[in-house]
Structure 1
Amino acid sequence: MTTTPTRADTTTRVTLGVTVTLGLLAGLGPLSTDMHLPGLPEIADALETTDAAAASTVTVGFAGLALGQLLVGGLTDRFGRRRPALVCLALFVLASVACALAPSIEVLLVARFLQGVFGAGSVVAARASVRDLAQGPAASRLYSQLAMISMFAPVIAPLLGGQVLAFTSWRGIFATLGVLAAALLLLASVKMPESLAAEHRRRADGPGQLRVMGQVLRHRGFAQHLVLAVCQGVILVSYLTMSALFLRAEHGVGSQQYSLIFATSGAGMVLGHVVNMRLVPRFGSLNMLTFSVTAAFTSCSLLCLAVFTHAPLPVVLVPLCLTLPLLTPSMPNNMALALVPFGTAAGTASALLGASQQVAGAVVPSLAVQVGSSGAVMATTMLLAAGVGLVQVWGVVRPALRRGDVPDFSGSDVVAADVGGTDVALPGTAVEPR
């Protein structure tokens, strides 16, 4: 098999400034979601709507992220990583202004959807840039570095949102998001490099891009990790959409208290990425993925037990605040393993993985919250998703990777034509069977 590197000259590419910039780009989506979580009850009151409708501002944002990743993923493979990211950042600023000025819940939902669509551009571009720059355990480490930076969003965002609420209203949260996105646009215009050389960009038109998406989805190794990404999305969004309402209704937790609780989970997620960066060179991506999914399932089980036995708030908070940190290492490792076979199609593959995660995260919790925003609904949804992930990693992913049953994405007619007749797999991308 003939292979051709897809990267531009990366001699001085992965500097601290570049890593921080890519991490902030990857964190824009979580920032836009987490920052307005403390304001969900106020949104419901101010716009005279239901708790379920207010919670839908989270789910439609995830739906926008899903669609945006599908749209922008192909664009990053065709036009490079930098230009689509900058355009999407500028449009994200405008969407944030629309959110701040929304006169009704219907307008806010549309604006939040657009905010998600445009926020997806920076996420896809950052992930695809990592695939251009590193493979294997090195890619997992770089994904964790980016994720660790981006995970400061869950720590800072709810605290910042809570402080903004103390001085203004929920509208001020979205105005602040617009200002932060504008600052990130300036930073990215200076620091974000173009990691995909022009000669290696795919030239697929709309139908050609759809065929590439179909080929990626049919790739056996990719499909295995897609299921795990879906489970991760359901767990994460179930927490985001239902925890604030559940804690307020059943334990009397206010906005300021919830900000601190969520910040604790966010700090744990940052710690999870630090631990992953330290341990993945020693134990390998597969073992770290397995440990993380197993630990998250255990935590979800304890959360269910605490909720259904009507345990006091401190007992509920222990597994609630541990679940996301324990799940965190699975995310960069699943992403790194999923993108191993892909080169110039990394943007498309990353977009499909992220979009599937966001769609599941938007649909499943949205349906669950219609049943009720109780702790029982939240905990059960999280446990079911964690259980499916546990079966997938132990029953499918580990056996396949340990057998070496992960074929290269060796290029059909569509892909080969797009990259000048060469395969899209990079050399040295074998997965360590550990």
Structure 2
Amino acid sequence: MPASSPWLAAILAALAAIGPFSIDTYLPAFPAIAASLGATPIEVQQTLTAYMATFAFMVLWHGALADHFGRRRVILGSMALFVLASLVCALAPSIEWLWTGRVLQGLCGGAGMVVGRAVIRDLYDGAQAQRLMARVTMIFAIAPAIAPIIGGLLLAIAGWRAVFVFLALFAGGLTYLTWRYLPETLPAAARHPLHPVSLGRAYTKVLGSGAFLLVAGAVAFNFNGFFLYVLSAPAFLIGHLGLGPQQFGWMFVPTVLGMVCGSALSGRMAGRWQHGRTITTGFAIMGGAAVLNVLIGALVTPGLPWSVLPVAIYTIGMALVMPSLTLIALDRFPARRGLASSCQSFLQVSVNAVTAGVLAPLLWSSPLTLAAGMAGFMSLGLLCFLSWQRRVEA
């Protein structure tokens, strides 16, 4: 496939979508899993934590492996393992086996996201890179909308195990598409050894960079302002809004439309706006949405559509700033883009895992506490960006 092919963005987006599909598709099935395996709601929730924790650990290494073996080999191996892990989940006879399958999924589920960003930066610079990153984000944004809908339908038709069979088939299809169409973008001469000393120095350089950590932190905190609602979807939609397992689209469709709009605006403004203007505009949108969300949570009875509208607006700003912040982070280390992408993903997913295992259960008790959580994450993201900006201007 030529590097300029429009299908490249679709394949990279689908590879990155394995992550949200692994989370969102089975969320409507939590009560059914608990009943089937004789597990408590907390034990079922920990299947999500098991996935997120191992996902966070392994994304730290996908980029280094891709810098050594090449982009294609790492993606192919990871997708093949994901097929096996999904089948373990589908056949799990107990909650412990489901934990095991989710751990295996977490170990390989982040390769497409990490390596895909490096592929984009291998191929393009400047505005072209931002446009492709925005296009990937726009396509990728569809995943959180359709995943819970697909999960709810599969649950109603064939039970919760069918969700993991679907994930196995999805990963199998991506394995074929990668093998057949995805080009290798890292020439052999540009690859790096896996020597422990050189790797240690590279990781120390990236993770010891204050500017990198601030930009990566802004991405992570911004995303978690929305991800908090993804993790809390059963409590928010079923518990507070009174919806059913097949009605998760009431939140996910508007929020994904917001991400699509934000990503499209980012791509359109690439080369016209400087990164600073794009990011500032995005934070203004997120800040307005967060304030509106807190006011609705404090003053209005939970209901549709007003309880989900601020979340959708928030995702517009989040998607607008994400391509610019990501490129700023990767451009700090042009010779080790794969490793830098891994470190960025590790920071983001580590925050995700803490949110999944600790913060979401503490905040999903009411719409107001969820709104406060979104505002808190957005404020941390803004603080990181402003701190980075002061470093650059100093």
Structure 1 position 391 matched with structure 2 position 383: yes
Consecutive unaligned residues in structure 2, runs of 5 or more: none
Report the equivalent of 1:371. 362
Q: Tell me if the contact between 2:14 and 2:140 (Cα under 8 Å) persists in the aligned partners.
A: yes
Number of residue pairs the alignment of both structures matches: 392
Structure 1 position 64 matched with structure 2 position 54: yes
Q: Deviations over 1:403-432 (max 9, x none)?
A: 3x6xxxxxxxxxxxxxxxxxxxxxxxxxxx
**Structure 1 position 234, deviation (Å):** 2.5
Q: Tell me if the contact between 2:290 and 2:314 (Cα under 8 Å) persists in the aligned partners.
A: yes
Structure 1 position 354 matched with structure 2 position 345: yes
Q: Tell me if the contact between 1:52 and 1:369 (Cα under 8 Å) persists in the aligned partners.
A: no
- The counterpart of 2:307, out of the listed 307, 316, 321, is 316
Amino acid paired to 2:329:
A
Structure 1 position 278 matched with structure 2 position 268: yes
Q: Deviations over 1:214-251 (max 9, x none)?
A: 10112233122122123134323311111321221122
Q: Deviations over 1:368-391 (max 9, x none)?
A: 234363234322222111111122
Q: Deviations over 1:12-54 (max 9, x none)?
A: 4231232222221122212222222222233233333343433
Report the equivalent of 2:117. 127
Q: Tell me if the contact between 2:262 and 2:316 (Cα under 8 Å) persists in the aligned partners.
A: yes
Q: How does 1:150-229 map to 2 (within 5 A)?
A: 150-229=140-219
Give the distance between the partners of 1:263 and 1:40, measured in 2 at CA. Answer: 20
Amino acid paired to 2:324:
N
Amino acid paired to 2:364:
S
The change in CA–CA distance for 1:33 and 1:54 in structure 2 (over 3 A counts) is: same
- The worse-fitting range, judged by mean Cα deviation, of 202-211 and 141-150 is 202-211
**Structure 1 position 78, deviation (Å):** 0.8
- The counterpart of 2:41, out of the listed 40, 46, 51, is 51
**Structure 1 position 189, deviation (Å):** 0.3
Give the distance between the partners of 1:135 and 1:16, measured in 2 at CA. Answer: 17
Q: Tell me if the contact between 2:115 and 2:341 (Cα under 8 Å) persists in the aligned partners.
A: no
**Structure 1 position 399, deviation (Å):** 3.5
Amino acid paired to 2:382:
L
TM-score (structure 1 length as normaliser): 0.85
Q: Deviations over 1:294-349 (max 9, x none)?
A: 32232122222222335231221211333223312222221111111322310110
Structure 1 position 26 matched with structure 2 position 33: no
Q: Tell me if the contact between 2:149 and 2:247 (Cα under 8 Å) persists in the aligned partners.
A: no
Q: How does 1:247-326 map to 2 (within 5 A)?
A: 247-314=237-304, 315-326=306-317
The change in CA–CA distance for 1:384 and 1:50 in structure 2 (over 3 A counts) is: farther
Q: Between Structure 1 and Structure 2, which shows a larger proportion of helix residues?
A: 2
The change in CA–CA distance for 1:96 and 1:384 in structure 2 (over 3 A counts) is: same
Give the distance between the partners of 1:43 and 1:294, measured in 2 at CA. Answer: 41
Give the distance between the partners of 1:225 and 1:39, measured in 2 at CA. Answer: 35
Amino acid paired to 1:378:
L
Q: Tell me if the contact between 1:77 and 1:344 (Cα under 8 Å) persists in the aligned partners.
A: no
Identity across the alignment (%): 31
